[in-house]
Amino acid sequence: MQRFWEMVLEPVLDAVQPKVIVEIGSDQGGNTLNLLEYCEQAGATLHAVDPRPGFDEAEWQNKHGDHLVFHEDLSLNALALIEDFEVVLIDGDHNWYTVLNELKTIERLCNKRGQPFPLVLLHDIGWPYGRRDLYYDPGSIPEEHRQPYAQKGMLPEVTDLVEEGGMNRHLNNALREHETKGGVRTAVEDFLSATRYELELLELPGIHGLGILTPTPLKRQRPDLASLLSELEFSPFVVRYVQGIERARLELQIRQQEEGRKHVRHVKEIEKTWLEERREHRQRLAEESERLSEERQRLKKMRHEFNLANQNVLQLTRWLETLDSGISALLRSRQWKVGSIAGELYRRATFKGEKPTPDEHLEETLQKFRTWRRDGTERPREPKGGETSEPQ
């Protein structure tokens, strides 16, 4: 209903000059802000009704103070809590049962309180919900008044829902159009045929249609309102012309919705592909991490074995160094020399051949060790304080 603000709604409010306005169906709050701005300028109060608002009602309440009273409830529950209403905007659940009973509730409360029937503006009395029900919350509609529905699209001049494409296929739309008790326009007509109030309906074509339900006494009391409504009465030619423009707009809107759905599907496919690639990448990372962990364990084991070998070599080196010192001292000792001379005399006396003597054999072995130690070939170095013997 927001798109009617400058053309219709604001001029109507200026003509009526209401002190209490009721808005049924705030949605994201676009038109609610327009109404609040008017209320602040005119010193009026807005009662906004919506069971699931698309804005922070507490923040708005704090900002606008007494100019806003918010009812987070179904309209059929909230209307009885509002003591007075001069203008009511109905743009909530677009189905026959809800709209008819909203009008009946307003009528019953006015009779009970002795108040005049308010001026009522109703959105969506044109296609697609003028003759077809929409259920935002199917469970809130009594079963006997709830028609079969599905989340499928609608096309102009097509009675049944369509399997592919169409408008508003994400909503709970009645399966068929033009049912006896279906749609906003049908609910208004059924109410007018039963009410005792003297009311006039003005229908403005375009943008899904706007209905203005005006009490005849109010037109007599407000000449400016009567003049405005007279200007809004289109000739049959203008009505047909606007309806043609509306048809073109609807076709464009339907194409835009279909393109939007294709875009959403494309985005979901990209997201699915990305997620699959991400899972595969994470799996490869997990496998590589496991491989690296195994490699670290293998290197750790090799390092441990190397340390053990290095320690053994160091121990052997220290032992040989000790042995070298001891044997050298032994070979220089008098006892060894006497023993060597005696051994040499025995070998020659017994003609044993030219074999190396024990001292010669020891000297040869020790000389090899001293040469290896001097050259430092692959000689393990004993770690000093703070050093480790692990390979770098």
pLDDT at res. 171: 96
Q: Is 346's pLDDT higher than 70?
A: no
Among the residue ranges 7-21, 49-63, 199-213, 296-310, the one predicted with the least confidence is 296-310
pLDDT at res. 302: 86
pLDDT at res. 391: 43
For the chain, which residues make up each domain, given as ranges?
A: 2-233, 236-287, 314-378
pLDDT at res. 392: 40
pLDDT at res. 306: 82
* 3-state secondary structure string across the chain: CHHHHHHHHHHHHHHHCCCEEEEECCCCCHHHHHHHHHHHHHCCEEEEECCCCCCCHHHHHHHHHHHEEEECCCHHHHHHHCCCCCEEEECCCCCHHHHHHHHHHHHHHHHHHCCCCCEEEEECCCCCCCCCCECCCHHHCCHHHCCCEECCEECCCCCECECCCCECCCCCEECECCCCCCCHHHHHHHHHCCCCCCEEEEEECCCCCEEEEEEHHHHHHCHHHHHHHHHHCCCHHHHHHHHHHHHHHHHHHHHHHHHHHHHHHHHHHHHHHHHHHHHHHHHHHHHHHHHHHHHHHHHHHHHHHHHHHHHHHHHHHHHHHHHHHHHHHHHHCHHHHHHHHHHHHHHHHCCCCCCCCHHHHHHHHHHHHHHHHHHCCCCCCCCCCCCCCCCC
Confidence grade of residue 17 (pLDDT, cut at 50, 70, 90): very high
| Mean pLDDT score of the chain | 87
Q: Tell whether pTM > 0.75.
A: no
Q: Is 348's pLDDT higher than 60?
A: no
pLDDT at res. 388: 47
Query: Mean of the pLDDT values across residues 339-347?
Result: 58
Q: Class assignment of domain 2-233?
A: alpha beta
pLDDT at res. 268: 86
pLDDT at res. 230: 95
Among the residue ranges 38-42, 91-95, 216-220, 283-287, the one predicted with the least confidence is 283-287
